[in-house]
A and B are shown apart, each in its own frame.
Chain A
Amino acid sequence: MLDSGEARVVDGPADVCVEACPHCERLVLPEVLKASLNVCPLCGYHRPLSALERIAQLADLGGWDEVGSDLQPLDPLGFRDLRPYRDRIRAAQASTGLREAFVGGRCNILQQPAALGVFDFRFLGGSMGSVVGEAIIRLVNRAVADRVTLVMVTSSGGARMQEGILSLMQMAKTVVALEDLRASRLPFISVLADPTTGGVLASVATLADVIIAEPGAFLSFAGPRVIEQTTREKLPEGFGRAEESLSYGQVDMVVPRSELKRRIAALIVLLQGGEETRIRKVGSDEKRPWWRSGTLGRTAARAEELARPARSWLRRGDS
């Protein structure tokens, strides 16, 4: 089932179900949305994706090896506002079916080996607490151990307030871990989805070799309301959007979802020295044969991959 976010679901006559695009408000069939990777075919609005939908869109079929799946959040401060933090965690776990706001694993992206990590904004605003930090560390370690590219898709409100200073320290923790990736000269590609803000933007997300943004994604360290309150000025049109960030030199490219998988795979190949170099590297590595069997550069197969809807095998893994 698609995560329709705030979209309204309209039951039409005779078993017809349509959804309204939250952006252009026109009605779209869910099947059509699914086929277009949850991008409105009428206005191009990129709807939010759950972590598993994102993984299904990016990872090749059949080889997802989750990293850090045993991690569970705790409540180190005994934080309590209107609701206890523990309740908030439980509610988020129940509504998303996830343990935390980040899912990472080892996979292939169009036959290119990668460690892929994805934030899920539905889980407490994709906020980074101790578990998310640790899950990122383990994913980085896995990328280093397997000598593969790190790909991270972020959508996050920033550090998780309910874990206080420990959340802030996750920024330091993830940055420190990325040093290992750099020392190993492994590529790091980050994809900024809507929205990526605060401590996540100011740590892992912007330290990538290549930063891709999804069209329309809101990217800002400070929240829009905080900026308006501090400067007492109305925010200019398009402020903080991916397209503006591109024009100010803060991201490398804005890539529509339909192109994303191909672009990531192409970058993985190029950042590892190109197809020639890569074949030599992989060919000489006898310890890790499982991606060697993958055939390279079959564009027809890639196109077919992209057209396929979300995969049911992934959702099973979720429960």
Chain B
Amino acid sequence: MPALPGVGYGEEIARLQRRLEELRGEESPTVAWKTVQAARAQGRPQTLEYLSHLAPDFIELHGDRLAGDDPAIVGGVGSVAGKAMVFLGHQKGRDLKERQQRNFGMARPEGYRKAQRLALLAERHSLPVVCLIDTPGAFPGVEAERGGQAGAIARTLQVFAGLQSPTVAFVIGEGGSGGALALGLCDRVFMLETAIYSVISPEACAALVWRDASEAPRAAEALHLTAPDLLTLGVIDGIISEPRRGVAGQARVMSRRLKRTLSSSLEELGAVPPEVRRRLRRQRYLNLGVFAG
């Protein structure tokens, strides 16, 4: 019998709803994956570019005073609105030559030790520390491992955990695993709108659990690595919005936005005595985790 108007459409509506759900399920991996690609895009402003706008008087300092200088992490002193601070950041490199020289922003133990040294320098001179995070991860290499890669990251975390100085981190591109976290144990952590921050790269995750690196878009979705995801999970404090057409070539605009957030954060943090600040930082990280019991 033919269906009368307004009769028997329940099934059709249910089917359409199911289809909509399916489409949503298919669409969202694209969002996460698109963000991953944007976070890694070559045209994205990098640490040194941001610093040239944020702190035009920036002076780079080199070396870990033990073994070498790692170009994958740059650091130094500069001032924002007349206030001096220590800057640390991953630098991936622009063209192929610079990228190779900087090892694509993948730091070695020397890099993390330089970060420790400069963080402690900041503490000695009562300067805030500002970190710009943009790395695929710590460099996976034989010499790096033999040089104590794991210990270097752990001790960097330890230094930041105990630091008297106020600390602010911005994930400006790719926040890759332990190599990113090494500069991320801060009082305030912000992410750019299309930055990512993850425990593992989507490719590696896909290779491990799906046994197929081409499942990376699905892994990207499953990992919850976008800025809104991290804000929801309580891991970051805020998101720095980007121009509608993305951040490429927008270092000046984005630097102004970073500067605003940085200034207000440092003002808040500066109003608190160092001991209290350290206690609050401690509490912030102790609270992270979801479990029963």
Contacts and interface: CB of A to CB of B under 8 A. Distances in A.
The B contact surface, by secondary structure, is: helix
Interface centre among B142, B235, B281, B291 (most CB of A within 10 A): B291
Contacts of A244: 146
Contact of A134 (B149, B185, B291): B291
A80 interface: yes
A239 B142 contact: yes
Size category of the binding interface on chain B: 35 or more
Given A171-B178, A175-B158, A221-B138, A201 B150 contact: yes
Interface in A153-172: 159-161, 163-172
B292 A71 contact: yes
Given A165-B197, A166-B233, A70 B293 contact: yes
Interface of B: 138-142, 144-151, 153-155, 157-158, 161-162, 177-178, 181, 184-185, 197-200, 204-205, 208-210, 218-219, 222-225, 229-230, 233, 235, 281-282, 285-286, 288-293
Contacts of A131: 289, 291
12 contacts: A133-B289, A159-B177, A164-B229, A166-B290, A169-B285, A176-B161, A176-B286, A227-B140, A230-B139, A230-B140, A230-B141, A239-B142
Nearest to B138: A221
A70 B223 CA distance: 27
A213 to B, nearest CB: 12
Nearest to B180: A168
B162 A240 contact: no
Size category of the binding interface on chain A: 35 or more
A301 interface: no
Contact of B290 (A70, A76, A203, A240): A76
B225 A175 contact: no
B293 A71 contact: yes
B157 A175 contact: yes
A260 B145 CA distance: 25
A36 interface: no
Given A161-B200, A230-B141, A202 B150 contact: yes
A235 interface: yes
Contacts of A236: 142
A14 interface: no
A199 interface: yes
A81 B229 CA distance: 18
B282 A176 contact: yes
B148 A248 contact: yes
A258 interface: no
Contact of B148 (A137, A199, A250): A250
Interface string A143-161: 0000000000000000111
